[in-house]
Structure 1
């Protein structure tokens, strides 16, 4: 690192503040500005991604990312990334700073989710997403795997897909239940895992076991360098940046419902018929509360 970069002490700063300090006297061209935007809106991804992967999200070439780091006084991408990671990880364990807006951290969280969705529109791998949809549609059995908060989107995908007539089951219990579910997999089956920072070992292991058994393996994750991504055949990368040390599942949920829309569109008549049957069973089980007389 050069003396110019060393002049900026990253301790206690957010990624945005840290970058602001670095670029104060550095004119940024349009391409460099795109790199900066990706760094500020997707710091978790950038903390572990290669220069080429950051370049792809910024819609520039790898050399532009390297030159960006060098223009700020770093020898190249790795030393710049190491400091970025230090700044970002320190902030992930900060309970959050008060927002200047009237909405406080609520408004900050909403704005971050909006940024994440805009980033998704630019960077999402739609071709791979359709491959995942085709794998679910064609599989005689699909197992959806996730743990912790990662299960929010996973459960939505599995539950709605099953209600539309697709043979999709969901497993988040781990241990013997997950082992039994994985033991029944074979060629032609499909596994869809959801895993974000931090990654659960059993999710990674489930993908490895499924792939060995001949099943198609898919993962929705936050970086191609994540342990589960290295075990999957098809990888969808989505941003999960949140505020106040809380990872956001907003984009993951949007991806789940997008995949479901594509999936049901492959058999609209069958999906409608299945939905009607499921609705009838729900009514038969009296699952829904009814308005009380005189209310509403």
Structure 2
């Protein structure tokens, strides 16, 4: 990325007034140029599409598309960790998609290296022993919470989604006891509502299994068990790939530990599937 910045800087004095506007936008918001058309860039700084194309040509590229491809690759090199493989091509030759996928692979690799299996097993024990299981999270984490609740309810048949704003929320809070376990997904951006939910859960005596991004997460103070997993947030798009890998691991451990119960419940559902001819 530095060589591209130097190229634009050294060429800046030769830009027209309109091209300097594009250069200024590049220094300020390179991501906008990386993912916007020449027409959109021109509209952003009040110049023509052809001015944007000529600007990229003045930098030595055949056209804006070639410049944009290079910029995307440079941003990927700068923002994403590379996974070392003996037969991998040099990072500079990888596509932008390859870098995105490598970032997700790197986050799973980090999870593999950092996860405390004893902590995970304790979390599974809390889930298996709970009279009732409640799953909560920030509203950004609703999909994670809903997915895990659905699977736990399918296999253990006593899980509920506990989300602020739901009509059952306060009834569920009031019903929490020391026999229950709350599973909480708490990733940035942290919300006051989920912290308040966990504070109430602890006050009611419930066990809290926290799945979060950091030991300094504001939810950590309320956790009996804390499982930390990286969320890749490059380019302002959160990737929960490693979180899904952790969820799958928990589910598999639950399946093994509570095998008889899980097998029995799945068999009941499978019987209904067949009776209703659900699947083709």
- Tell me if TM exceeds 0.5: yes
C-alpha distance in 1 between matches for 2:254 and 2:150: 13
Pair 1:99-2:90 in alignment = no
- How large is the RMSD of aligned CA atoms in angstroms? 2.7
- Tell which structure's C-alpha radius of gyration is larger: 2
Q: 1:219 maps to which residue?
A: 210
Q: 2:137 maps to which residue?
A: 146
Q: 1:267 maps to which residue?
A: 258
Count of aligned pairs? 201
CA drift of 1:213 comes to 0.3
Pair 1:200-2:206 in alignment = no
Pair 1:136-2:121 in alignment = no
Counterparts in 2 of 1:115 and 1:137: CA distance versus 1, 3 Å: same
Q: SS at the partner of 1:113? A: helix
CA drift of 1:276 comes to 1.3
CA drift of 1:110 comes to 0.8
Structure 2: any 5+ residue segments left out of the alignment?
3-27, 35-70, 75-91
C-alpha distance in 2 between matches for 1:285 and 1:191: 34
Give the counterpart of 1:190 among 178, 181, 184.
181
Give the counterpart of 2:200 among 209, 226, 250.
209
Give the counterpart of 1:124 among 115, 119, 133.
115
Give the counterpart of 1:280 among 268, 271, 276.
271
Structure 1: any 5+ residue segments left out of the alignment?
1-11, 14-90, 291-296
Q: How does 1:1-296 map to 2 (within 5 A)?
A: 98-99=72-73, 104-172=95-163, 174-284=165-275, 287-288=278-279, 290=280
Q: Which moved more, 1:279-288 or 1:261-270?
A: 279-288
Whether the 8 Å contact between 2:138 and 2:187 is mirrored in structure 1 is no
Q: SS at the partner of 1:164? A: helix
Whether the 8 Å contact between 2:176 and 2:206 is mirrored in structure 1 is yes
Whether the 8 Å contact between 1:195 and 1:221 is mirrored in structure 2 is yes
CA drift of 1:175 comes to 4.9
CA drift of 1:197 comes to 1.1
CA drift of 1:167 comes to 1.6
C-alpha distance in 2 between matches for 1:158 and 1:213: 21
Whether the 8 Å contact between 1:174 and 1:202 is mirrored in structure 2 is no
C-alpha distance in 2 between matches for 1:155 and 1:241: 21
C-alpha distance in 1 between matches for 2:155 and 2:166: 28
Q: SS at the partner of 1:174? A: coil
Counterparts in 2 of 1:205 and 1:173: CA distance versus 1, 3 Å: closer
Whether the 8 Å contact between 2:173 and 2:201 is mirrored in structure 1 is yes
Counterparts in 2 of 1:228 and 1:285: CA distance versus 1, 3 Å: farther
Q: Of Structure 1 and Structure 2, which has the larger fraction of its residues in helix? A: 2
Deviations 1:64-112 (A, max 9, x none): xxxxxxxxxxxxxxxxxxxxxxxxxxx9x95675126787443222111
C-alpha distance in 1 between matches for 2:184 and 2:260: 28
Counterparts in 2 of 1:175 and 1:285: CA distance versus 1, 3 Å: same
Whether the 8 Å contact between 1:208 and 1:232 is mirrored in structure 2 is no
TM-score (norm 1): 0.61
